[in-house]
Amino acid sequence: MSEKPEKTTVSLVLGSGGARGLAHIGVINWLVDHGYEIRSVSGSSMGALVGGVYATGQLDVFTRWVTALTRVDVLRLLDLSFSSTGLFKGDRVMGVIRDLIGDHQIEDLPITYTAVATDLRTGREVWLDRGSLFDAIRASTAIPTIFTPHEINGRELVDGGLVNPVPISPTARDHTDLVVAVNPASRSRRRTPRRRTRVPEVTQGGRTYRSRIARFVRELMGDDGAVEQDLGLFDVVSRSMDTVQHLVARLQLAAYSPDVLVEISRDVCLVYEFYRAKELIELGWRETEEEFRALDSG
């Protein structure tokens, strides 16, 4: 009886990029369906979330939930924070995900997992590879000014994409055949400019903070049929983050070159369009197929 051939082992690096990070699901599905064995995952922001869910073995459960989301569902997941450090707390969405897949300690996961966050006070990169999985995810996904920072061991932590949007460096200690990295904030491709509703300034008793929240909500629920005009708060933050992450990712990828790099163009959707999960997952699959075909032909 012949022995089964060994699977090609993979260290998977999942980058930050908001809703574009849902393409990570398609990347993972392609790798698993084609016989690759993912032995470790490192991720920043949305990459930390999807990678963490995969590490628990519950990616199918998460996929069914996220592909059913509508615009209204996304809005309902936002829990307002009456704090000067962020518009939303992020506890509600973390609670929903925890209910879906259970609570876990990182050291008990069947594969190696590292979430990358940024220490808000020192500006240093922080690797979270022990302790609560959901604390790690919450810290790594804390987009500055949008979500409040998350405290772990006395440190105020925010989005890992600020310092390492495609965190290949944690995989340096792995003994795997391939490093596969996914960058959901790659250079934009030319396309027809997006059209959306102009969001008028809202005032509620002169309170600027509440006005910003109202403006964000109206952007999220906006009609795409109107001509784009003024940028809203979330647009400014997300586009600024995209620009920073693209530049930092270029430097990181020059220093740590993966064996396979799957790139998701940053213009495929806005960072909060999680209700487009199905098409983003399909995009991740297609881009992975294309990169591995190029690798085989080379």
Residues with catalytic roles: 45, 159
DSSP per-residue string spanning the chain: -PPPPPPPEEEEEE---GGGGGHHHHHHHHHHHTT-EEEEEEEETHHHHHHHHHHTT-HHHHHHHHTT--HHHHHHT--EEEETTEEE--HHHHHHHHHHH---BGGGSSSEEEEEEEETTT--EEEE-SSBHHHHHHHHT--TEEE--EEETTEEEEEGGGT-SS--GGGGG---SEEEEEEEEEPPPP-PPP---------STT-HHHHHHHHHHHHHT--TTSPP-S--HHHHHHHHHHHHHHHHHHHHHHHS--SEEEEEETTSS-TT-GGGHHHHHHHHHHHHHHHHHHHHH-
Please state the separation of Cα 228 from the chain's center in Å: 25
CA dist list (Å): 269 to 139, 232, 239: 24, 16, 12
Distance (Å, whole) CA 264 – CA 199: 28
Q: Tell me how many degrees the CA angle 58-242-227 measures, rounded to the nearest 5.
A: 105
Distance (Å, whole) CA 185 – CA 201: 29
If you search the block for the tokens 């569902």, which residue do you land on? Answer: 73
